[in-house]
Amino acid sequence: MGRFTAFREDVYPRSQLTTFPAAGTFTIESAQALAWAAQVAYETADEPKLDRILTGWGWQRDAILGGDVSEALPFTLASGFAAHIGRTTVVAFAGTEPDSATQWLENFSALPVDGMHKGFKAGIDAVWKKKRLPDLIDAAAEIYFCGHSLGGALAVAAARRLCSEMPNAAVKIRGVYTMGMPRVGTEPFARTYNGTPLAPQSSLGQQTFRLVHGDDIVPHLPPTVFPFGYRHVGRALACPQDGNFSAGSLGPVAIEGVSGEGALNFSNTVVPERTAPPFPADDPLVVKLAAALPAIIRGHLMDRYLRALGAM
């Protein structure tokens, strides 16, 4: 966990989070629960804290997911957890720590290899090779993938790999929920991903819900222009800065560069987001540092997504 990703424990819900639609359709309630899962994925280094939170939700932890990434990239670990709630399994991935703006942007600026960002591919490869995730998929009845930032990219990479290597299990995927996710691959990757069948009348693109808050810069990365050529997958749900997500604004399956989010407000590249509530950290210094972050980065942090979902 890091300075801008760990929350005070009292901020997390203490009531059960068990609302998941049987048909796998998008709901704000599911988005709230899975956004909390994406947030607590940052807390896996403190297993007692993680377990206390999950137990309060009525969830049972199945595994801590982690793997060293051999690629020469700024991030070196793919991490997260898997837990089940009755017959439903949630696989949540953590993102990156935005301590260094330069390093943070480098994370999302690699050229694609075989149509996919090499770091995102390496991250899920590292987790997959330990065999724990395929074993959990085999045992699950229903599966949701989720993640924030890099974690959202890993959730998409995991869902795609499941469909590729375990096609009989694809029908188990009920949803891929991401918050502030970067683009994962090129147009051919996006077309293949969106068109991957899950069940009759359902595809991976239809069941991937990509939330974008305000002027969050990360959904605008990596670039769409040559030689990068990245594209988004799934269905975008955007809300304005300081606004709220509405299920009625969910867009169609698309592969555009930034579908539904609108243009990035570059005037917010330096100016702090003065309207943001205090970041819910234990350390007062972190609260002050978060308040000084530019709006395009402050708007990316998970507390802003949770507030926009009405979950905080």
Largest interatomic CA distance in the chain: 52
**Residue 16, SS3 per DSSP:** coil
Is the pLDDT score of 1 beyond 90? Answer: no
Q: Provide the pLDDT confidence category of residue 284 given band limits of 50, 70 and 90.
A: very high
Please give the pLDDT value at position 71. Answer: 46
Q: Which residue in this structure is represented by tokens 């407000």?
A: 265
Ranked by mean pLDDT, the top range of 47-51, 78-82, 119-123 is 47-51
Please give the pLDDT value at position 87. Answer: 87
Q: Which residue in this structure is represented by tokens 């359709």?
A: 25
Mean pLDDT along residues 289-311: 93
Please give the pLDDT value at position 239. Answer: 95
Please give the pLDDT value at position 106. Answer: 60
Q: Are 206 and 173 in contact (CB under 8 A)?
A: no
Is the pLDDT score of 19 beyond 90? Answer: no
Give, in degrees to the nearest 5, the angle at Cα 241 between 299 and 312: 70
Q: How many angstroms separate the CA atoms of 160 and 154, rounded? A: 10
Q: How many angstroms separate the CA atoms of 261 and 63, rounded? A: 34
Q: Provide the pLDDT confidence category of residue 83 given band limits of 50, 70 and 90.
A: very high
Q: Provide the pLDDT confidence category of residue 161 given band limits of 50, 70 and 90.
A: very high
For the chain, percent of residues with pLDDT exceeding 70: 85
Please give the pLDDT value at position 132. Answer: 79
Q: How many angstroms separate the CA atoms of 139 and 182, rounded? A: 30
Is the pLDDT score of 85 beyond 60? Answer: yes
Please give the pLDDT value at position 279. Answer: 93
Question: If you average pLDDT over every residue of the chain, what do you get?
Answer: 87
Look up the pTM and report it.
0.92
Q: What is the pLDDT of residues 91-132, one digit of tens each?
A: 999 987 766 555 556 666 678 888 998 888 888 888 887 767
Pairing of strands 235-239, 208-213: parallel
* List of domains in the chain: 11-263+298-308 (3.40.50.1820)
